[in-house]
Amino acid sequence: MRKLILILLLIFTATLSSPSYAEWTMVREVRSGYVFLDLERLREIEENVYFYLLIDYNVKTEQGYLSAETQYIGDCKLFLYKPLSTVHHKEPMGRGTTGVVSIRKNPEWKDPPPNSAIELVLKALCAQ
C-alpha cells in the first residue's frame, strides 16, 4: 500500500490541490469542473482497488448540486471499473447539505473511457 501511495503522490505532484481540502488530491480538470481523488480512503483487496472520486462542478447542476462524491471499485486484472455509490452536495468539495445518495445495486463493469479521469486514476492505482 505504501508503494501505491508513493506512486500516486509522484504522479499527482504536478497537479494542484487545495490546502484547505488536504484529503482530496486533484486529478485533472474536466469540462464540467475538477476531479479529485481521496488518497486516505484507498483500499486494495486482491485484484481490486476501492477509491473515491469527487467532482467539483463549475456551475450548479439542474438539481442545485455543486459537487458529487462517488465510490468506485476497479478490477486491475481486467482493467474495468464500476461505481458503487454517489453522494451529491449543495456546496463545493463535498461540503454542505447532502442531497441524493445513490447506491447502485449490481452495477455492470465498464471500460474506462480513453483519456478520462477514471482511466488515469485506474492506471495509477493498478500500476505495481
What is the set of domains in the chain, with CATH numbers?
Answer: 2-126 (2.40.128.710)
- Grid cell 494542484 is found at 16
pTM for the whole structure = 0.80
pLDDT tens across 13-37, in order? Answer: 333 333 344 489 999 999 999 999 9
Handedness of CA 126, 22, 86, 116 (dihedral sign): negative
Consecutive 10-residue runs of the chain (128 residues): their mean pLDDT?
46 39 84 95 94 96 93 97 95 84 92 96 90
Q: Given this model, what pLDDT does residue 20 score?
A: 40
Handedness of CA 21, 6, 28, 17 (dihedral sign): positive
Q: Given this model, what pLDDT does residue 28 score?
A: 95
